[in-house]
Chain A
Amino acid sequence: MSSKILTFTLNGETIRVVVEPTDMLADVLRDKLNLIGVKKGCGQGECGACTVIMNGDAVTSCIIPALKAEGAVVETIEGIGGPGKYHPLQESFMDLGAIQCGFCTPGMIMSAKALLDKNEQPTREEIREAISGNICRCTGYVKIEKAVSTAAEKIREGK
């Protein structure tokens, strides 16, 4: 097999990593770059657990060939905030109990962030569209929807 060097911007840093043409982006992020916040549920684009933001849009990284990311700007949950300085979405998911087992949470938050980056005042329908590709087996979505709209308020107030 012919390995290649993939160069892309990951969470604000330029990264060069050796990948195989058969590698999917989710596997490179998890196994080669140790970003295990990227979850893998179905591996078929159906559950949204592996959602990352690529060039501004939410995409399911499990069905994106890693080499498609050449030159792209990719964001994962690790890049948006963490202990010490959480993103408003991370804060409101925790504060409002929008997390139970947590497996869907990174993908859910990345889908929500892709929305809020473009639209700080989303309607309920827009929030629902944004997270419609993220399946949660635990929460029932009500608290997730609330957490996203609360985060949007926080972001607007912070300006």
Chain B
Amino acid sequence: MLQDYLIPETVEQALSHLQGGKGRARVVAGGTDLLLDLANGKKEAGVLVDLTRIPGLQEITLEDDLIRLGAAVTHNQVAKSKLIQEKASVLARAARSVGSLQIRNTATVVGNVVNAQPAADAAVALVALGAVAEVVSPSGKEYIPVEKLYAGVGKSVLDSTSQIVTRIQFPALLKNQGSAYERLEQRKALALPMLNVAVVVSLADNRFQWARIVMAPVGPGPVRATEAEAILTGADVSLGNIENAAAAARAQANPRSSALRGSREYRLEVLPVLVRRALEAAVVRAGGNC
């Protein structure tokens, strides 16, 4: 049962509130996942430590080609940010597709990652961008790739009763790079993704230098289509290669049948189409042509 709600002004203060709670105090940001989990007994906390007023954590910054998002940055901030639209459009699109405007005004991108749902929209895009979380705890600071934060469905390797993600950072995309986001959904708002795909490609002389292809929910966290990525690495930009990559992505996916998200069979048919569309769009944005 919640006994207290604290609003610290510094990260140090937040850490000491967590330490004082001895496992009963937990970080909260927008609360759009946590408050529902507390209400239905999926999580337990005696004290909530709200990070959203800590100066600096509301900012999106670009420094030395590295984009950084503070722990209080909301989905709407990201969706509307010119910087993110230009240098990481996959994330702007993903953030724009979360819930409704009211949810996007409250919910944070970092919370989306730490909550560790397999198809959390912003998290899927961040894995494609190669994002890294800055994690602070009493023992110091460490940097962990977002891709490595998953311990199972809805389970993060992070312990939000003692560790705080202060920022998430990723490289701004260069002129020869492009990204795209595709989402299968039942309606245009307030609908969880039935499938989502995020890709980032880097081109040189109309060849793929590399590609990062992420798909969900087809496993416990966002899943890299590593076979598809390998097919594209060094390959010419062509519709044939993109089709092959899409087929490889499908072969690597393992969706379950779900009343909410559609049958395994249906989603396996749609997935390669989404991968193909995303790759085509990303190639165009990177200045290539098929």
A45 interface hit (Cβ, 8 Å): yes
Which stretch in B28-36, B60-68, B126-134, B218-226 binds the other chain? Answer: B28-36
Q: Which residues of B contact A134 (CB under 8 A)?
A: 100
B4 interface hit (Cβ, 8 Å): yes
Q: Which residues of B contact A65 (CB under 8 A)?
A: 5, 28, 31, 35, 48
Q: How far is the CB of A60 from the nearest CB of chain B, in Å?
A: 5
CA distance A24 to B36 in the complex (A): 11
Q: How far is the CB of B28 from the nearest CB of chain A, in Å?
A: 8
**Looking at A2, A45, A67, A70, which has the most chain B CB atoms within 10 Å of its CB?**
A45
B230 interface hit (Cβ, 8 Å): no
A68 interface hit (Cβ, 8 Å): yes
Beyond A21-B2, A133-B190, whether A59 also contacts B48 by CB under 8 A is no
Establish whether residues A68 and B1, one from each chain, have CB atoms under 8 Å apart when the complex forms.
no
Of A2, A59, A132, which contacts B106 at CB under 8 A? A59
**Looking at A68, A129, A132, which has the most chain B CB atoms within 10 Å of its CB?**
A68
A111 interface hit (Cβ, 8 Å): yes
CA distance A111 to B106 in the complex (A): 14
CA distance A20 to B105 in the complex (A): 24
Q: How far is the CB of A59 from the nearest CB of chain B, in Å?
A: 5
Establish whether residues A60 and B103, one from each chain, have CB atoms under 8 Å apart when the complex forms.
yes
Establish whether residues A21 and B48, one from each chain, have CB atoms under 8 Å apart when the complex forms.
yes
Number of inter-chain CB pairs below 8 Å: 78
B50 interface hit (Cβ, 8 Å): yes
Establish whether residues B189 and A63, one from each chain, have CB atoms under 8 Å apart when the complex forms.
no
Establish whether residues A21 and B105, one from each chain, have CB atoms under 8 Å apart when the complex forms.
no
Q: Which residues of A contact B99 (CB under 8 A)?
A: 45, 133
Q: Which residues of A contact B50 (CB under 8 A)?
A: 68
Establish whether residues B101 and A111, one from each chain, have CB atoms under 8 Å apart when the complex forms.
yes
B258 interface hit (Cβ, 8 Å): no
Establish whether residues B5 and A45, one from each chain, have CB atoms under 8 Å apart when the complex forms.
no
CA distance A2 to B52 in the complex (A): 22
Within 33-71 of A, Cβ neighbours of B (below 8 Å) are at 44-46, 48, 51, 57-60, 63-65, 67-68, 70
Within 2-43 of B, Cβ neighbours of A (below 8 Å) are at 2-5, 7, 28, 31-32, 35-36
Q: Which residues of A contact B106 (CB under 8 A)?
A: 59-60, 63-64
Residue of A nearest to B79 (CB): A129
Q: Which residues of A contact B102 (CB under 8 A)?
A: 45, 48, 51, 58-60, 111, 133
Q: How far is the CB of A17 from the nearest CB of chain B, in Å?
A: 14
Establish whether residues A63 and B5, one from each chain, have CB atoms under 8 Å apart when the complex forms.
no
CA distance A105 to B25 in the complex (A): 38
**Looking at A51, A67, A70, which has the most chain B CB atoms within 10 Å of its CB?**
A67
Establish whether residues A1 and B3, one from each chain, have CB atoms under 8 Å apart when the complex forms.
yes
Within 170-192 of B, Cβ neighbours of A (below 8 Å) are at 188-190
Q: How far is the CB of A72 from the nearest CB of chain B, in Å?
A: 10
Interface string of B70-102 (1 = CB under 8 A from A): 000000100000000000000000000001111
**Looking at B4, B76, B102, which has the most chain A CB atoms within 10 Å of its CB?**
B102
Q: How far is the CB of B193 from the nearest CB of chain A, in Å?
A: 16
A137 interface hit (Cβ, 8 Å): no
Establish whether residues B188 and A1, one from each chain, have CB atoms under 8 Å apart when the complex forms.
no
> Apart from A21-B5, A44-B36, what are 6 other A-B pairs with CB-CB below 8 Å?
A45-B102, A48-B102, A58-B101, A65-B31, A65-B35, A133-B99
7 A-B residue pairings within 8 Å (CB atoms): A2-B4, A45-B32, A60-B100, A63-B106, A64-B31, A132-B101, A133-B101
Please give the residue numbers on chain A whose beta carbons come within 8 Å of chain B beta carbons, in ascending order: 1-2, 4, 20-22, 24, 44-46, 48, 51, 57-60, 63-65, 67-68, 70, 111, 129-130, 132-135
